[in-house]
Chain A
Amino acid sequence: MEDEDNEEQTLQKKHQLMLERLSARHQTRLETRKPDPSDSSTTSAFLSRFNDSKKSIAAKIESSTDPSRLPDISAAISDLEKFVAENSYLLPSYEIRSSLKTISDLKQSLENLTSQLIPKKKFSFKKSKPTKTQIPQPDTVSVPEKTTSYPIRDSPGFRHKQNQVLVQNFKGSEIGEFTISDLDSCEVKLIGCVNALFLNRLKNCKIYAGPVVGSILMEEVEDCVFVLASHQIRIHFAKRSDFYLRVRSRPIIEDSDGVRFANYCLKYEGIEEDLAVARLDEETGNWANVDDFKWLRAVQSPNWSILPAEERVGDVDLANLR
């Protein structure tokens, strides 16, 4: 018993020290101020160094005939990869992804070169080497059960409804996460703060929500209007829908098209307080900084646009809705 207590104490002490060290390190980092991500000189300095390394590696791969040089090339690619990763907090999204692709290509060429220079041994115990495409083969290894057999309880939410007005007030409730799914032609009003919001399979709906302290995750929605505030939002498989958002970070879309964005416009009694509690009282302007994961080019994605001012709904006051 005593031993356990002691152990527990040393463990706690260790963690305390660790936390102190971490925060000290954070402090020094703050003092050696990070360059501004939008600073174009950071980006161009990165790109010029990146391109130099890339060229030199590509040239080595091109000219190598000696297998003993392979480890060097491999190390150079690793260094380049690390360089990108270290800078990825500071780079615009397009540059990150194009460098990601370049590195992937370099690795592929090195792999090709390796298999040219070091032909596979004829007789050896097979240690099935990874091949070019690493997509795991289903069912070559027997893994029991494909789907989860364990019963999962349902989270609180609205599900399987048509032509209804649905209202939920989170004030004084114990609800942490909330799900809205399989609705057709419904209007949903959520008042107060919640930690996480999941939205799935909605058609022709209007969803108005107070602040979400964490994130919103959305899949398969079409012909909807959303008025939402949250720290993060991820939008998947959305079609022809309008989003009035306030977000602390950049909204992202994936596999979506015809989605339009504007700023948050919800009003209900006490919303200012709720927004402040959720630290969403400040307009960051991020509603317009949408990243499309399916669009890998530097020019604007055709899948989303800014909602023209004259088409916006104006303030939505929940008290005045029906």
Chain B
Amino acid sequence: MGLLSIIRKIKKKEKEMRILMVGLDNSGKTTIVLKINGEDTSVISPTLGFNIKTITYQKYTLNIWDVGGQRTIRSYWRNYFEQTDGLVWVVDSSDLRRLDDCKMELDNLLKEERLSGASLLIFANKQDIKGALTPTEIAKVLNLEAMDKTRHWKIAGCSAYTGEGLLEGFDWLVQDIASRIYMLD
């Protein structure tokens, strides 16, 4: 039995889920995490390293890792891949110019073997901004339909600003992970 499976077993007992939030800088990751944790979102600086929030959600404990998306620190993302149960990819739906970048980084991430079992939630964030692309448009740009058929994924529109769509998204993610990992109990 490998290291990983030992750790995974312990985790199962505690009903913990490890969730990794990534996406380009400025997409709204930190705002989303603070919003769903009911915290003040009016003064947030760009993330220099990472943050972790432990949130009790239904009967689960979510460890949410929010990693900065600035180009310089994207190379650190891979430090957080191990044992990830859920991957949240956040898109700034109003940043039309960087959608190519966004697609490329997501494609690279999805090639990562250590993330191959993780459920994937894509947040098309900033839906409150006039001119933002809809989740359907984002799905087309990112060519999500072409994704590996074994991957569990969903795209959801949201606004970290108003809070709309956040809980629906996390509900899906937590249910999906639970049905995969905790199926037996």
Contact = CB atoms under 8 A, between A and B. Distances in A.
Contacts of A59: none
Interface string B91-113: 00011110110011001111111
A149 B50 CA distance: 33
Given A22-B36, A26-B39, A234-B25, A104 B76 contact: yes
A29 B39 CA distance: 9
Contacts of B63: 82
B48 A136 contact: no
A71 B3 contact: yes
A145 interface: yes
Interface string A40-63: 000000000000000000000000
Most buried by B among A70, A145, A177: A177
A75 interface: yes
Contact of B146 (A82, A145, A147, A279): A145
Interface residues of A, number: 74
Most buried by A among B38, B81, B133: B38
A200 B131 CA distance: 18
A150 B76 contact: no
A223 B18 CA distance: 45
B107 A100 contact: no
B181 interface: no
Contacts of A179: 97
B130 A177 contact: yes
A126 to B, nearest CB: 11
B79 A104 contact: yes
Given A82-B52, A88-B51, A177-B129, A234 B26 contact: yes
A107 interface: yes
Contacts of A277: none
A291 B113 contact: no
Interface stretch (A248-256, A257-265, A307-315): A248-256
B180 interface: no
Interface in A53-84: 70-71, 74-75, 82, 84
Given A22-B36, A25-B38, A232-B46, A74 B96 contact: no
A82 B53 CA distance: 10
A154 B96 contact: yes
B23 to A, nearest CB: 14
A254 B128 CA distance: 28
Nearest to B147: A143
Contact of B7 (A71, A96, A181, A249): A71
A147 B107 CA distance: 10
B141 A148 contact: yes
Nearest to B70: A293
Interface string A137-149: 1001101111111
Given A141-B111, A155-B131, A249 B96 contact: no
Nearest to B98: A217
Contacts of B162: none
Interface in A89-105: 89, 93, 96-97, 99-100, 103-104
Contacts of B137: 150
Interface of A: 15, 18-19, 22-23, 25-26, 29, 70-71, 74-75, 82, 84-86, 88-89, 93, 96-97, 99-100, 103-104, 107, 114, 128, 130, 134, 136-137, 140-141, 143-150, 152-156, 174-177, 179, 181, 195-196, 198, 200, 214-215, 217, 231-232, 234, 236, 248-250, 252, 254-255, 279, 291, 293-294
Given A85-B52, A97-B49, 20 more contacts: A19-B38, A22-B38, A74-B7, A100-B49, A104-B76, A136-B108, A141-B111, A144-B143, A145-B146, A152-B96, A155-B94, A175-B130, A176-B132, A217-B25, A231-B44, A234-B25, A252-B46, A252-B70, A255-B72, A293-B73
30 contacts: A15-B167, A18-B167, A19-B38, A26-B39, A75-B7, A85-B51, A85-B52, A99-B49, A128-B113, A130-B114, A136-B109, A137-B111, A140-B111, A143-B146, A145-B143, A148-B99, A149-B143, A154-B96, A155-B94, A176-B130, A176-B131, A177-B129, A195-B128, A195-B129, A196-B94, A200-B97, A217-B26, A255-B71, A293-B71, A293-B72
Interface of B: 3, 6-7, 25-26, 36-39, 42-46, 48-52, 63, 65, 70-73, 76, 78-79, 81, 94-97, 99-100, 103-104, 107-114, 126, 128-133, 137, 140-143, 146, 161, 167
Please give me the 4 A-B residue pairs with the lowest Cβ-Cβ distance, nearest first: A176-B130, A22-B38, A85-B52, A249-B45
